[in-house]
Amino acid sequence: MQRHLYRAIQECHKERSCSIEAACELLHVARSAYHKWTSGKLSNRAVENEWLAEKIERIHTESPDKGYRRLNDDLRHDYGIHVNDKRVLRICRDRDIRSTVKYNNNGCTRHAKNFQYLAENLLNRQFHLEKTNEKWLTDVTEFKWYEGMKVHKLYLSAILDLCDRRIVAYAVSECNNNSLVFKTFDRAVKLNPDARPLFHSDRGYQYTSRAFHQKLVQAGMI
Protein backbone atom coordinates (compact mmCIF):
# COMPACT_ATOMS: atom_id res chain seq x y z
CA MET A 1 0.00 0.00 0.00
CA GLN A 2 2.76 2.44 0.87
CA ARG A 3 4.39 1.98 -2.54
CA HIS A 4 1.14 3.09 -4.18
CA LEU A 5 1.19 6.26 -2.11
CA TYR A 6 4.77 6.96 -3.12
CA ARG A 7 3.91 6.48 -6.80
CA ALA A 8 0.88 8.77 -6.44
CA ILE A 9 3.10 11.49 -4.94
CA GLN A 10 5.64 11.02 -7.72
CA GLU A 11 3.01 11.23 -10.47
CA CYS A 12 1.31 14.21 -8.86
CA HIS A 13 4.63 16.02 -8.67
CA LYS A 14 5.61 15.26 -12.28
CA GLU A 15 2.26 15.68 -14.01
CA ARG A 16 0.59 18.42 -11.97
CA SER A 17 3.61 20.20 -10.50
CA CYS A 18 2.31 19.54 -7.01
CA SER A 19 4.97 20.07 -4.36
CA ILE A 20 6.32 16.91 -2.77
CA GLU A 21 5.97 18.46 0.68
CA ALA A 22 2.25 19.20 0.19
CA ALA A 23 1.56 15.75 -1.29
CA CYS A 24 3.36 13.97 1.54
CA GLU A 25 1.46 15.98 4.13
CA LEU A 26 -1.87 15.29 2.41
CA LEU A 27 -1.25 11.54 2.29
CA HIS A 28 0.40 11.38 5.75
CA VAL A 29 3.70 10.16 4.32
CA ALA A 30 7.11 11.01 5.78
CA ARG A 31 9.16 12.99 3.25
CA SER A 32 12.33 11.21 4.30
CA ALA A 33 10.74 7.84 3.53
CA TYR A 34 9.51 9.07 0.16
CA HIS A 35 12.94 10.35 -0.84
CA LYS A 36 14.54 7.07 0.23
CA TRP A 37 12.04 5.24 -1.96
CA THR A 38 12.75 7.40 -5.00
CA SER A 39 16.48 6.88 -4.52
CA GLY A 40 15.99 3.10 -4.55
CA LYS A 41 17.44 2.72 -1.06
CA LEU A 42 14.29 1.21 0.44
CA SER A 43 13.39 -2.45 -0.05
CA ASN A 44 9.72 -3.45 -0.16
CA ARG A 45 10.01 -4.64 3.43
CA ALA A 46 11.58 -1.36 4.50
CA VAL A 47 8.83 0.57 2.75
CA GLU A 48 6.22 -1.40 4.67
CA ASN A 49 8.09 -0.83 7.93
CA GLU A 50 8.18 2.92 7.29
CA TRP A 51 4.44 2.86 6.72
CA LEU A 52 3.88 0.81 9.88
CA ALA A 53 6.16 3.10 11.88
CA GLU A 54 4.07 6.12 10.95
CA LYS A 55 0.90 4.42 12.13
CA ILE A 56 2.59 3.24 15.33
CA GLU A 57 3.96 6.71 16.08
CA ARG A 58 0.51 8.20 15.56
CA ILE A 59 -1.03 5.74 18.05
CA HIS A 60 1.84 6.31 20.49
CA THR A 61 1.35 10.09 20.33
CA GLU A 62 -2.32 9.69 21.23
CA SER A 63 -1.72 6.97 23.88
CA PRO A 64 1.89 7.12 25.15
CA ASP A 65 1.14 4.60 27.90
CA LYS A 66 0.71 1.70 25.46
CA GLY A 67 3.44 -0.91 25.04
CA TYR A 68 4.20 -2.68 21.77
CA ARG A 69 1.55 -5.39 22.26
CA ARG A 70 -1.21 -2.87 22.83
CA LEU A 71 0.07 -0.81 19.90
CA ASN A 72 -0.27 -3.92 17.75
CA ASP A 73 -3.78 -4.48 19.09
CA ASP A 74 -4.71 -0.98 17.87
CA LEU A 75 -3.11 -1.61 14.47
CA ARG A 76 -5.29 -4.69 14.11
CA HIS A 77 -8.53 -3.26 15.49
CA ASP A 78 -8.38 0.33 14.18
CA TYR A 79 -6.45 -0.05 10.90
CA GLY A 80 -7.02 -3.69 9.92
CA ILE A 81 -3.24 -4.24 9.86
CA HIS A 82 -2.18 -7.76 10.85
CA VAL A 83 1.51 -8.14 11.75
CA ASN A 84 3.18 -10.06 14.56
CA ASP A 85 4.25 -8.55 17.88
CA LYS A 86 7.95 -9.05 17.18
CA ARG A 87 7.84 -6.84 14.11
CA VAL A 88 6.09 -4.07 16.03
CA LEU A 89 8.67 -4.41 18.82
CA ARG A 90 11.56 -4.05 16.32
CA ILE A 91 9.99 -0.92 14.85
CA CYS A 92 9.43 0.53 18.33
CA ARG A 93 13.08 -0.07 19.21
CA ASP A 94 14.27 1.47 15.93
CA ARG A 95 12.13 4.58 16.49
CA ASP A 96 12.76 4.66 20.25
CA ILE A 97 9.04 4.38 20.95
CA ARG A 98 8.58 3.52 24.62
CA SER A 99 5.64 3.27 26.94
CA THR A 100 5.55 5.98 29.59
CA VAL A 101 4.19 3.50 32.14
CA LYS A 102 6.63 1.29 34.03
CA TYR A 103 5.29 -1.75 35.80
CA ASN A 104 6.29 -5.11 37.14
CA ASN A 105 6.13 -7.57 34.23
CA ASN A 106 5.65 -10.46 36.66
CA GLY A 107 2.25 -10.95 38.18
CA CYS A 108 2.18 -9.84 41.79
CA THR A 109 -0.34 -12.38 43.05
CA ARG A 110 1.21 -14.35 45.91
CA HIS A 111 1.12 -18.13 45.69
CA ALA A 112 -0.86 -19.69 48.48
CA LYS A 113 1.03 -21.74 51.03
CA ASN A 114 -1.86 -24.17 51.24
CA PHE A 115 -3.98 -24.33 48.10
CA GLN A 116 -7.71 -24.59 48.83
CA TYR A 117 -8.45 -25.53 45.23
CA LEU A 118 -5.85 -26.39 42.61
CA ALA A 119 -6.81 -26.76 38.93
CA GLU A 120 -4.91 -28.38 36.07
CA ASN A 121 -3.30 -26.28 33.36
CA LEU A 122 -5.94 -26.91 30.71
CA LEU A 123 -4.82 -23.97 28.57
CA ASN A 124 -1.41 -25.63 28.07
CA ARG A 125 -0.10 -22.81 25.82
CA GLN A 126 -2.90 -23.23 23.28
CA PHE A 127 -3.06 -19.52 22.50
CA HIS A 128 -4.72 -19.53 19.06
CA LEU A 129 -8.49 -19.54 18.64
CA GLU A 130 -11.14 -18.09 16.33
CA LYS A 131 -13.96 -16.95 18.63
CA THR A 132 -14.21 -14.57 21.56
CA ASN A 133 -15.31 -15.66 25.03
CA GLU A 134 -13.66 -19.07 24.66
CA LYS A 135 -10.58 -18.41 26.80
CA TRP A 136 -10.05 -15.67 29.36
CA LEU A 137 -6.73 -14.90 31.04
CA THR A 138 -6.29 -12.93 34.23
CA ASP A 139 -3.62 -11.51 36.49
CA VAL A 140 -2.88 -8.64 38.86
CA THR A 141 -0.24 -6.05 37.99
CA GLU A 142 1.45 -3.68 40.42
CA PHE A 143 2.20 -0.05 39.50
CA LYS A 144 4.56 2.18 41.49
CA TRP A 145 5.28 5.87 41.52
CA TYR A 146 7.19 8.16 43.84
CA GLU A 147 6.45 11.46 45.52
CA GLY A 148 9.78 12.42 46.99
CA MET A 149 10.89 9.40 49.01
CA LYS A 150 7.37 8.08 49.48
CA VAL A 151 6.37 5.05 47.37
CA HIS A 152 2.78 4.75 46.17
CA LYS A 153 1.26 1.57 44.77
CA LEU A 154 -1.79 0.70 42.73
CA TYR A 155 -2.95 -2.75 41.70
CA LEU A 156 -4.69 -3.48 38.42
CA SER A 157 -6.72 -6.67 38.12
CA ALA A 158 -7.71 -7.41 34.53
CA ILE A 159 -9.36 -10.18 32.54
CA LEU A 160 -8.28 -10.48 28.90
CA ASP A 161 -9.97 -12.36 26.06
CA LEU A 162 -7.28 -14.45 24.39
CA CYS A 163 -8.92 -14.26 20.94
CA ASP A 164 -8.79 -10.50 20.32
CA ARG A 165 -6.96 -9.35 23.47
CA ARG A 166 -9.79 -7.07 24.50
CA ILE A 167 -10.01 -6.31 28.21
CA VAL A 168 -13.21 -8.01 29.33
CA ALA A 169 -13.22 -6.27 32.70
CA TYR A 170 -10.83 -4.64 35.14
CA ALA A 171 -10.64 -3.11 38.59
CA VAL A 172 -8.08 -0.91 40.33
CA SER A 173 -7.31 -0.77 44.03
CA GLU A 174 -4.67 0.28 46.50
CA CYS A 175 -4.86 -3.23 47.98
CA ASN A 176 -4.00 -6.51 46.29
CA ASN A 177 -6.60 -8.76 47.89
CA ASN A 178 -9.56 -11.05 47.24
CA SER A 179 -11.95 -8.14 46.89
CA LEU A 180 -10.01 -6.75 43.93
CA VAL A 181 -10.00 -10.06 42.04
CA PHE A 182 -13.61 -10.92 42.90
CA LYS A 183 -14.81 -7.48 41.79
CA THR A 184 -13.07 -7.91 38.43
CA PHE A 185 -14.65 -11.32 37.90
CA ASP A 186 -18.12 -10.12 38.88
CA ARG A 187 -17.87 -7.25 36.38
CA ALA A 188 -16.81 -9.63 33.60
CA VAL A 189 -19.76 -11.93 34.27
CA LYS A 190 -22.18 -9.01 34.40
CA LEU A 191 -20.93 -7.67 31.06
CA ASN A 192 -20.89 -11.13 29.46
CA PRO A 193 -23.71 -13.13 31.08
CA ASP A 194 -23.73 -15.83 28.37
CA ALA A 195 -19.96 -16.40 28.31
CA ARG A 196 -18.66 -19.80 29.44
CA PRO A 197 -14.91 -19.55 28.78
CA LEU A 198 -11.96 -21.50 30.02
CA PHE A 199 -10.65 -19.23 32.79
CA HIS A 200 -6.85 -19.25 33.16
CA SER A 201 -4.78 -17.68 35.94
CA ASP A 202 -1.63 -18.30 37.93
CA ARG A 203 -1.79 -20.03 41.31
CA GLY A 204 -2.16 -16.88 43.37
CA TYR A 205 -4.03 -17.24 46.63
CA GLN A 206 -7.03 -15.30 45.29
CA TYR A 207 -7.53 -17.70 42.37
CA THR A 208 -6.98 -20.91 44.36
CA SER A 209 -9.43 -20.01 47.12
CA ARG A 210 -12.65 -21.97 47.55
CA ALA A 211 -14.62 -18.73 47.28
CA PHE A 212 -13.24 -17.99 43.82
CA HIS A 213 -13.70 -21.57 42.66
CA GLN A 214 -17.34 -21.33 43.73
CA LYS A 215 -17.71 -18.19 41.59
CA LEU A 216 -16.39 -20.11 38.58
CA VAL A 217 -18.81 -22.98 39.20
CA GLN A 218 -21.77 -20.62 39.54
CA ALA A 219 -20.79 -18.89 36.27
CA GLY A 220 -20.46 -22.23 34.46
CA MET A 221 -16.74 -21.75 33.78
CA ILE A 222 -13.80 -24.13 34.00
- What is the tens place of the pLDDT at every residue in 113-135? 566 677 778 887 777 777 889 99
Interval 76-103: pLDDT, tens: 888 888 999 999 998 898 878 888 765 5
CA angle 220, 198, 164 (to 5 degrees): 125
Contact between 177 and 205 under an 8 Å Cβ cutoff? The reply is no
Q: Region 137-144: what's the mean pLDDT?
A: 92
How close are the terminal C-alpha atoms of the chain, in Å?
A: 44
Each residue's pLDDT tens digit, 176-205: 899 999 999 999 999 999 999 999 998 888
User: H/E/C letters for each residue in 88-111?
Assistant: HHHHHHHHCCCCCCCECCCCCCCE
Rounded to whole angstroms, the Cα distance separating 88 from 51 reads 12
Domain ranges of the chain: 1-42, 52-101, 135-219
Element (H or E) spanning 23, and its range? helix 20-26
What CATH code is assigned to 135-219? 3.30.160
Average pLDDT score over the chain: 83
